[in-house]
Amino acid sequence: MFASILACFLLCAALALLYNLARIDLKTRLLPNKLVFPFALLGVLFHAVLSFGLLPLSAMMIGAALGGGILLGIRTLANAFYKQDTLGLGDVKLMAAAGLWLGPDVLLALTLGAVAGLLHGLGVALWTHHKNKQPVNLARLEIPAGPGFIVGILIGAAVKFQSLPTLLF
């Protein structure tokens, strides 16, 4: 029973971190390490408390490599193409941390996060166009990627952990 309570606590702490990461990224376009690294640690502790029953350690490592590696590759290519920073390293670290929580299912979170980010960007562009009554230069539109990825992480976690209540109680 103690493990179940601790797992619930760790999950709630992770949700609080994700909320704060999204809020900070929207304001500052930064995902601070002092919040991303604890999110990663909570993922390791969460699965350890559950004796790696939901996700073996090997799957956690694969997820971290996929989440961080894919975004690092995209960032490297996009930065070379546009000759400027296009995606922050905080986003890369966030998705690596998400991989510790989700394992290979981090690919679902990445995909859904990209879609959420795209919808967010389109919404901002439409709002800016409506407000200014002028066309929006999409090349100059700066949208933080973190909140979109966090939406993807939350949806991915809801899918991944849908059996969690029966496992815990």
Q: How confident is the model at residue 23 (pLDDT cuts 50, 70, 90)?
A: very high
CA 154 remoteness from chain centre: 8
Residue type, 89: L
Inform me whether the pLDDT recorded for 160 exceeds 90: yes
Range with the poorest average pLDDT among 14-18, 119-123, 165-169: 165-169
Average pLDDT over residues 67-93: 95
Inform me whether the pLDDT recorded for 169 exceeds 70: no
State residue 93's pLDDT score. 99
Crossing angle of helices 57-82/33-49, nearest 10°? 160
Q: What DSSP state is assigned to residue 87?
A: S
pLDDT top residue among 162 and 35: 35
Residues 90 and 85: their CA atoms lie apart, in Å, by 12
Inform me whether the pLDDT recorded for 108 exceeds 80: yes
Q: H helices within the chain, ranges in order? A: 2-28, 33-49, 57-82, 89-102, 106-132, 146-160, 164-168
Average pLDDT over residues 104-108: 98
State residue 129's pLDDT score. 83
Average pLDDT over residues 123-134: 87
State residue 28's pLDDT score. 97
Inform me whether the pLDDT recorded for 58 exceeds 80: yes
Residues 53 and 3: their CA atoms lie apart, in Å, by 12
Average pLDDT over residues 70-91: 95
Cβ-defined contacts of 27-36 (< 8 Å, 24+) = 29/88, 29/142, 29/144, 30/88, 30/90, 31/88, 31/90, 31/91, 31/93, 31/94, 31/146, 32/90, 33/90, 33/93, 36/90, 36/93, 36/94, 36/97
118-128 residue pLDDT tens: 999 999 888 98
Q: How confident is the model at residue 134 (pLDDT cuts 50, 70, 90)?
A: confident
